[in-house]
Amino acid sequence: MPTIAVELTTERLRLRPLHTADAPAIAEQVNDWDVVRYTTSIPYPYDRGMAEEFIASQQKRWAAWSGKTVPEEEVAFVIERNSDRRLIGCIGLQPAEAGTGLEFGYWLGKRYWGEGYATEAVGRLVRFAFLDLGLPEIWGAAVPTNDASHRVMEKNGFVIVAAGERPSDVRGNPLPVIIRRLTRAQWAAAQATVV
């Protein structure tokens, strides 16, 4: 199935559509409780068949998405290192549960934590959301104890606006979350101060 060619790059990363060949790397990295415990939709344990189903569903969504409009369903990108083309995680956009615009979510394989990759990938996705999709705002949420994700959002300018819960069929109960928002005006003002 053909997909659109939206690829987003940074100094160290490439965000690209998922390919069937990504299934083994996704399954290996996501089958780790430390990676998925703060997510609301990734089951655990996680196997290659689940990765293949996820990729197939994403390929259908990408084929239906123009890449220039706001997606109506979640679209996920692989996070790939430029240096060795290694898949290190995934990041996606979906309709926001609160407010307008889109909400992002991501996961990184545990061996890639603490390297600034999540901050870099979120920053590039935010830029795409504001400059290419023309969104007025973008949202993020993380459980209160997910300190790393809160730091990623803070570094990208996201501001706490509320607390709430997110349904989680795979966890069997809703998860508490802190909800953050970044408006295009806030982002533009921060970009203007970067030398």
Question: Are 120 and 60 a contacting pair, CB within 8 Å?
Answer: no
Lowest-pLDDT range, 1-5, 39-43, 73-77, 124-128? Answer: 1-5
pLDDT number for residue 84: 97
71 domain-assigned:
yes
Number of compact structural domains in the chain:
1
The domain containing residue 163 runs over which residues?
8-193
1: in domain? no
Q: Give 137-192 pLDDT, tens digit per residue.
A: 999 999 999 999 999 999 999 999 999 999 998 889 999 999 999 999 999 999 88
Judged on CB neighbours under 10 Å (0-12, 13-18, 19+), 72 is exposed
Average pLDDT value for residue range 114-129: 97
Residue 105 has pLDDT above 80, yes or no: yes
Q: What is the pLDDT of residues 39-73, one digit of tens each?
A: 999 999 999 999 999 999 999 999 888 777 888 89
Given a cut of 70, is residue 111 above it in pLDDT?
yes
Q: Per the domain annotation, does 2 fall within a domain?
A: no
Residue 3 within any structural domain of the chain: no
Q: How sure is the predictor about 2, in pLDDT bands with cuts at 50, 70 and 90? A: very low
Instruction: Give 163's contacts (C-beta < 8 A, 6+ positions apart).
Output: 144, 176, 177, 178, 179
Residue type, 125: L
Angle 54-78-105 from CA coordinates, rounded to 5°: 75
Span 20-47, average pLDDT: 96
Mean pLDDT of the chain: 93
What CATH number does residue 176 fall under? 3.40.630.30
62 within domain boundaries: yes
Residue 183 lies in a domain: yes
pLDDT of residue 16: 96
